[in-house]
Structures are given as C-alpha cells and as structure tokens.
Amino acid sequence: MKKFNGKAIYNPSGKAGEYAAWACNFYVGCSNECEYCYCKKGILAPVMGQDMPQLKKCFRDELHALEVFEKEMKINLTELQKHGLFLSFTTDPMLDETKELTMLAINECLYNDIPVKILTKCTKYINQFSYKLRCTEYDLSMIAFGFTLTGHDELEPNASTNAERIEAMKKLHDAGFKTFASIEPIIDINSSLIMIAASRNFCNLFKIGIESGKKYNKDELLQFTQWVDFHTCAIDTKIYWKDSLLKSAGINREDLPANCVGRDYNIFDQQQ
C-alpha cells in the first residue's frame, strides 16, 4: 500500500508505525512538559517540542483543519474503517487547548464508522467527554482511550498524575470504552511493573517500549517480559512489545506467548 501523507492524516513510519497504521496530527507542542518526550529531541525539537500546543502552520485555523481532515478522511475511508485512526503523535489530544478539535474529529470518525484511538496523559475531561458520547447513538466500543503510564509524576509535571490516569482508565473501561496503556518509555522496571499491576484488570492492551538511547540490563528486561506475560495471560490482556525492547532483551517475537500480539493487532476486532 502506498503511504499517504496528508496535512492532517497520514501513515506513520519507523517506531511510530509500530503504534498505528493511520494517525492524525492537528497540533505540535504540548504543555505536559514531559522530560523524556521524543518530540523535544533532534533537529525538529524547536517546533515539535514547544511547551504549548500550536496549530500546525498548514492550517489557517481550527475550522480549516477540520475541513482538511474531512477531505483526507473520505479519500482513505475504507482503510480508516479497517484500521482505525490514532490521535496524536505530536501533542496530547486532550489538553484544554486541543480537546475541542479532537472531539469534532472523533464525531466525524464515528459518523463514518471509523474507530478512534486516543493517547493522553489528561483526565479532567473524562466525565464531560464520556457523558457527551453516551448521549449519542455511537457505539462506545469504537473508541479506545489510552493512557501513558510511567509511574513517574515528577517527569511529567503538568500532566494528570499516574494514579489519576489509572482511575480514569477504569471509569472509561467500566463505561464501555476500549482501553489501552502505553508503558513507554520504561523509566525503571519496578515502576512499570507497578503500573501494569494496577491497571491490568481494566486494560485491553498494553504497548510496552524502552526509551530511545537509554541502556537497559538485558537480564532485567527478560525477567520483566516474563513477569508481564505470566500475569496477563490469565485475564487475556493483550501485550504488544516494541521491537527495540525485544531486541534489547534478546527475545524473538515468534517465541512470545499467545496473548502477545504483533503490530497489525486491531483492538477493535472482536475475532482477534
């Protein structure tokens, strides 16, 4: 399939391609100010790593961004219905500054039978947002809420606490939404274990990865994967181990247990 690279919607590549086949970015920059943020690294950091979200310069305003989004969505409708759409790699889509446009995009997706995946560190919106959606005719299982869980609030100074994110995940799961957790980056193995143990009973999928450029102990990573696989198999929670983590731990993907999935896993597919 030829890669699509629109102003709003595109096919991620590289490590981002492990996370989603289709994604949407309206904004760059984020006010969570996470110390480990990959957007703050490299030559694009002055733009991507801003401390406040800014609408991408290719959009005149939010209305224009939505118009572009709708056109690109219709061009790729069949593939988006099949794979779903992820928001967002370049900001937190549920910040006060970004959530309204996110909500409009979600409504457009659901109206067109496109599943949506949202990754956030925010929780303030939960009650209002989920109430709005419950008052519609939409199938709530078409929305997957994901929360980054590191166990290190001090590295994410303006985000909701990890405990608040876990509480929000449970509320959303109980309300009928799909849920996933991004255990990435692993700051330290013990903290990641605590996060997984605290959320595994209401998390449909864990996506777990290491921090780029950081050195990890191979044996500790191996023990970590074995613990996670063992304690999630019984409740059939799915695990996606990022390629770089498996390489660092010396693990072949084909040797993983049955509840470990590949990058093509679809959280919305009831048959998987």
pLDDT in tens, 100-127: 999 999 999 999 999 999 999 999 888 7
Task: Look up residue 20 and give its two tokens.
Answer: 């989603």
| pLDDT at residue 23, as a whole number | 98
Could you tell me the residue ranges of all domains in the chain? 1-120, 124-272
Q: How far is CA 149 from CA 64, 132, 182, in A?
A: 33, 26, 6
Mean pLDDT by 10 residues, the chain (272 residues): 91 89 97 93 84 96 98 97 96 96 94 96 81 69 95 98 97 91 97 96 96 93 92 82 96 93 89 58
CA dist 199 and 197 (Å) reads: 6
- Please state the length of the chain: 272
Query: Whole-model pTM?
Result: 0.93
Q: Calculate the dihedral angle through the C-alpha atoms of 5, 108, 26, 177, rounding to the nearest 10 degrees.
A: -110
pLDDT in tens, 144-184: 999 999 999 999 999 999 999 999 999 999 888 999 999 99
Q: Which of 112, 96, 105, 149 is nearest to 9 (CA)?
A: 105
